[in-house]
Amino acid sequence: MGIKGIAKLANVSIGTVDRVLHNRPGVSKETEEKVLKIIKETGYTRNTYASRLKLASLRKLKIAVLIPEAKHNWNYWKLPKKGITKAINELSELGVVVDNFLFIDSNTFKNLANKIIEEDYDAIVTVPFFEKESNVLLQKANLKEIPLVFIDTKLELESPANFIRQDSHKAGMVAARLLHGLVGNEGQYFVVNMLNDRGIHANNKQRESGFREYFKKRKTEVPIKTINYSMNNEFTVTQEMKEWFNFKGPKGVFVTNSKSHLLPEIFDKYDVTNTSIVGFDVNKSNLKYLKKEKINFLIHQQPRYQGYAAIKGLFNFLAKGEKSDLNIDIPIEIVVKENVPEIG
């Protein structure tokens, strides 16, 4: 049953039914009620595809994507982009168009965000790396009623916002359980934060807090040390690390970012043994050591799917009014040598 059937039952024209369906002005209370009653009775729902077929010819849905430029250390960002590309392929027939804006730092982020707000996009996907700038963008988007989805990281912002990302605190707890299973109560634990030029990332902090919470919740207390290591400088062994390296018992190492692959090399060089490593992200370097069993577990954030889901979710909201796809807790996927997922 379509709009035509409703119109017939209600003794009105299809134009009037359309007006009622979209709450457009110019319908008398009386006919509106009559039409609504029949819509309810018949359980009519609008055919999104027919709707888009018509609307796409009039005006495309434009989505702006504002994410980090993918290069050198930031190779990771190729993955959400692939997911975005996949979504575009599926949605282009429905009149969806995506423009990519790539930022390098907080300044380029701010400028591109402003540009996006000025041109009128129907929706925005971005990443909340810079708290202040993200808040500004969110406010502006809210004012213009442009739906906005943040991927990758959750941040407390000044207004409610949509997030498609993994719960990093929970992921830290998962990592703790995995490491604890291997290392036990007699071991020593090390949280390794690799700092890049932007300092420590919100995700990493949340992962560490989750890691520590896992142990706090249990009776047995184990020593957990945090090592902050700047990736910008040449690697040097500090006094703290020496003590760690010399401990002969089981050592559990939790690397809070995607660089866990750096540790096996260091451990080899300094003859550190009896280590178990849990890290994040299924990248080439990490996989290499996972396959060699130098890294025990990796946690996968499904970056490709995050990008895909953001675009699809925004489309579902714009075309069907479905708000539920705008907030997704990406599952915490545990990866071992035998269940490496396809990434590319």
Count of residues of this chain found to bind a copy of itself when the rule CB under 8 A is applied: 28
Q: Which residue number, 51 or 188, has a Cβ lying nearer to DNA?
A: 51
Q: Does 316 bind DNA (CB under 7 A)?
A: no
Stretch of 65-73, 121-129, 177-185, 280-288 lying at the interface with a copy of itself (CB under 8 A)? 177-185
Tell me the three state secondary structure of residue 163.
strand
Q: Residue 165 carries which side chain, given as an amino acid letter? A: R
User: Residue 249 binds which one of DNA, a copy of itself, none, with CB within 5 to 8 A depending on kind?
Assistant: none
- What is the smallest separation between the CB atom of 217 and a copy of itself, expressed in angstroms? 10
- 318 binding DNA? (CB under 7 A): no
Are 299 and 335 spatial neighbours (Cβ–Cβ below 8 Å)? yes
* DSSP string for 81-135: HHHHHHHHHHHGGGTEEEEEEEESSHHHHHHHHHHHHHTT-SEEEE---SHHHHH
CA distance 68 to 108: 10
Where does this chain touch a copy of itself (CB under 8 A) — which range of 10-18, 75-83, 115-123, 331-339? 331-339
275 binds, among DNA, a copy of itself, none (CB under 5 to 8 A by kind): none
Nearer to DNA, 5 or 69 (CB): 5
Choose among DNA, a copy of itself, none what residue 13 binds, the Cβ cut-off being 5 to 8 Å by kind.
DNA
Structure tokens at 238: 């500090």
Shorter beta-carbon distance to DNA: residue 4 or 115: 4
Q: What does the alpha-carbon distance between residue 18 and residue 14 come to, in Å, rounded to a whole number? A: 6
**CA 185, CA 36: separation in Å to the nearest integer?**
65
- Return phi, psi of residue 67, to 5°: -135, 170
The alpha carbon of 253 is separated from its chain's Cα centroid by a whole number of angstroms, namely 25
Residue 200 binds to a copy of itself (criterion: CB under 8 A): no
Q: Does 38 bind a copy of itself (CB under 8 A)?
A: no
**Between residue 46 and residue 75, which ones bind DNA under the rule CB under 7 A?**
46-47, 50-51, 53-58
Specify which residues 96 forms β-bridges with: 61
Q: Which does 339 bind (CB under 5 to 8 A by kind): a copy of itself, DNA, none?
A: a copy of itself
Q: How far is the CB of 320 from DNA (least distance, A)?
A: 10
- Give the 3-state secondary structure percentages of the chain, helix then strand then coil, rounded to 5: 50, 20, 30
Return the HEC string of 243-293. HHHHCCCCEEEEECCCCCCHHHHHHHHCCCCCEEEEEECCCHHHHHHHHCC
In this complex, which beta carbon is closest to a copy of itself, that of residue 174 or of residue 314? 174
Stretch that binds DNA, among 16-24, 175-183, 234-242, 332-340 (CB under 7 A): 16-24
Query: What residue has token string 């957990």?
Result: 224
25 contacts DNA (rule: CB under 7 A): yes
d(CA 282, CA 150): 21
Task: Check residue 125 for interaction with DNA (CB under 7 A).
Answer: no
Q: 126's torsion region: left (phi>0), alpha (psi -120 to 50) or beta?
A: beta
Q: Which stretch binds DNA (CB under 7 A): 10-18, 176-184, 221-229, 305-313?
A: 10-18
| Listed ranges 80-88, 176-184, 233-241, 244-252: which one lies at the site for a copy of itself (CB under 8 A) | 176-184
56 vs 88, which CB is nearer to DNA?
Answer: 56
Residues engaged in binding a copy of itself (CB under 8 A): 45, 47-50, 52-53, 93-94, 170-171, 173-174, 177-178, 181-182, 214, 296, 331-334, 336-339, 341
Judged by the rule CB under 7 A, the positions of this chain that interact with DNA are: 2-4, 11-16, 18-19, 21-22, 25-32, 46-47, 50-51, 53-58
